[in-house]
Structure 1
Amino acid sequence: MLKALIFDCDGVLVDTERDAHRVGFNQAFTHFDIDAKWSVERYAELLKVAGGKERMRAYFDDDGWPDALVEEYGGGDTGKDALIKALHKYKTDQVSQIVTDLPLRPGVLRIVDEAIANDVRLGVCTTSNPKFIDAVLDLMGPERKAKFEFVHAGDVVSKKKPDPEIYMLAQESLGLPQSECVVIEDSRNGLLAATGAGYPTLITTSTYTIDEDFSEAARVVPELGDAPNAIITLADLSALTDAGSNH
């Protein structure tokens, strides 16, 4: 029986990677006079690295650091850390504004409403910055937002997805066996994190993840779907917990 539903944010609640995060990174590079612009294709490759700060670090490690800026921020590893932190803060501020104009993915509000009506508990596990996920949840309206018991976001854990640490933290927050919960993810990194923590996981594919390997998922769909074309209902999600308990 389904007692809790845990959502990832990016690609699950809003398809944010291409039209929000990527744009925000590029705005940050421009603001800091860094000669970098991430194309849609390049960002698809960079998304293999979970976490925005980690993504920028991997990019600069491959393509070269803006040495003058690194020196301005203290030089060496200290300067790199400080620059990444400053870039990420600026990017988060920009993206928190951009997301207010983006739509929630089809079926998200419907499933949230079904969950609330059936006393199914709600939470979020995401690598995104807390300020950003706060802006995303604002899209649902204050009454729905208030029903989310926890939002584990950003650097709340020491290792980001695909490490299962953030979903282990969710289990502590809920105090429920994983077999009574379902995670909704959109990426292979998220899937590995959730299943690594023992959760049955539904995948809703997004712009950048449609061709990824989801063989460990309990079910894979293109979206949750809005009425009259709902693809996944709360009963479907509950069936995933029943299937998991039979193994």
Structure 2
Amino acid sequence: MTASGLRAVIFDVDGTLAETERDGHRRAFNRAFRDHGLPYEWGVPEYGRLLAVTGGRRRLAGYLAGQGVPDSEPLARELHRTKTAHYTAWLHDGPLLARPGVPELLAELHERGVPVAVATTGRRAWVTVLLARLFGDVTFAAVITGDDVSRLKPDPEVYQLALHELGIGARDAVAVEDSPPGLAAATAAGLCCLVVTSAYHRHLPFPGAAAVVPGYQRGDMVDSDGPLAAGVTVDALRRLHSAAYSR
């Protein structure tokens, strides 16, 4: 069975379009702890381990339960609201940059007539701010966030909804992710998935990925002679997509 052609590219946000976890989300969580008078602070390595749990509120609830906090869910909800406010403020005014090569890839996808979409389980309140600040001139054919789904990654619901909004099948698109839960969500939805590893996930295994690369640009492709050797381009994505369904 062959691929029907690349008709869309669906991107995750955190870590995929921009490196936001360490200096954005992590610091916002720590400010929320201080605002609520709590003695916790997530260091850089610890936060990397906590990212195994998707969804900030779920991450907080699990962490608080591990600290012996009884009935941690209500406190996790309060903390997450505070954290989201701090993170959204950082997205407006903080030192935020797209990952190198992403703006050029999005521009090329537009020029070549390939729709782009977003499938993230982050909150819409901050996702829209990030997209507007970094990619204000990009038209996204669909933006699916955690507000639109009942189950977070690694569940495939967010990708299934994105495909529905795009009006295409899983074999018509490529997903771009940076983490194991994101890869699991994409492949469970039937998508060919390119992993562009982010800072926290550089050395993790990614079974089932169509390809795993450390960045989007040609100079990132150390010792690579595959379809992405010249970087992540539209032609490279088409070749990767085609190869995924001819194996």
What TM-score comes out, normalization by structure 1 length? Answer: 0.89
**Residue pair 1:178, 1:199 contacting (<8 A) in 2 also:** yes
Instruction: Say yes or no: does 1:209 pair with 2:213.
Output: no
Q: Deviations over 1:162-202 (max 9, x none)?
A: 11111111121112121221100000000010011110001
Instruction: Say yes or no: does 1:135 pair with 2:139.
Output: no
Q: Percent identity, please.
A: 38
Return the alpha-carbon distance in structure 2 between the equivalents of residues 39 and 140 of structure 1. Answer: 27
Counterparts of 1:54-69 in structure 2 under 5 Å?
54-65=58-69
Residue matched to 2:140:
148
Residue matched to 1:16:
20
**Residue pair 2:163, 2:170 contacting (<8 A) in 1 also:** yes
The one-letter amino acid paired with 2:107 is D
The one-letter amino acid paired with 1:196 is A
**Residue pair 1:185, 1:201 contacting (<8 A) in 2 also:** yes
The alpha-carbon deviation at position 83 of structure 1 amounts to: 2.4
**Residue pair 2:18, 2:97 contacting (<8 A) in 1 also:** yes
**Residue pair 1:179, 1:244 contacting (<8 A) in 2 also:** no
**Residue pair 1:164, 1:197 contacting (<8 A) in 2 also:** yes
Return the alpha-carbon distance in structure 1 between the equivalents of residues 218 and 147 of structure 2. Answer: 33
SS in 2 for 1:176: coil
The one-letter amino acid paired with 1:59 is Y
The alpha-carbon deviation at position 227 of structure 1 amounts to: 8.8
Counterparts of 1:29-68 in structure 2 under 5 Å?
29-65=33-69
Return the alpha-carbon distance in structure 1 between the equivalents of residues 172 and 48 of structure 2. Answer: 33
The one-letter amino acid paired with 1:25 is F
Residue matched to 1:74:
none
SS in 2 for 1:37: coil
What value does the CA root-mean-square deviation take over the aligned residues?
1.8
**Residue pair 2:97, 2:134 contacting (<8 A) in 1 also:** no
Return the alpha-carbon distance in structure 2 between the equivalents of residues 214 and 231 of structure 1. Answer: 19
Residue matched to 2:152:
160
Return the alpha-carbon distance in structure 2 between the equivalents of residues 224 and 42 of structure 1. Answer: 27
Residue matched to 1:107:
101
SS in 2 for 1:143: coil
Residue matched to 1:232:
232
What TM-score comes out, normalization by structure 2 length? Answer: 0.89
Aligned equivalent of 1:200, options 192, 199, 223: 192
Return the alpha-carbon distance in structure 2 between the equivalents of residues 140 and 47 of structure 1. Answer: 23
Contiguous gaps of at least 5 residues in structure 1: 68-76
The one-letter amino acid paired with 2:236 is D
Contiguous gaps of at least 5 residues in structure 2: 222-229
Instruction: Say yes or no: does 1:171 pair with 2:171.
Output: no
The one-letter amino acid paired with 1:12 is T
Return the alpha-carbon distance in structure 1 between the equivalents of residues 118 and 219 of structure 2. Answer: 24
**Residue pair 2:26, 2:42 contacting (<8 A) in 1 also:** yes
Residue matched to 2:29:
25
The alpha-carbon deviation at position 226 of structure 1 amounts to: 7.2
SS in 2 for 1:184: strand
Q: Deviations over 1:133-173 (max 9, x none)?
A: 112112334321xx112211124222111111111111211
Q: Deviations over 1:22-78 (max 9, x none)?
A: 00000000001011001111111111000000000110111122x6xxxxxxxxx5x
Counterparts of 1:111-126 in structure 2 under 5 Å?
111-126=105-120
**Residue pair 2:214, 2:220 contacting (<8 A) in 1 also:** no
The one-letter amino acid paired with 1:204 is V
Residue matched to 1:70:
none
The one-letter amino acid paired with 1:27 is R
Q: Deviations over 1:78-127 (max 9, x none)?
A: xx443222211111111122234211001110111011111111111112
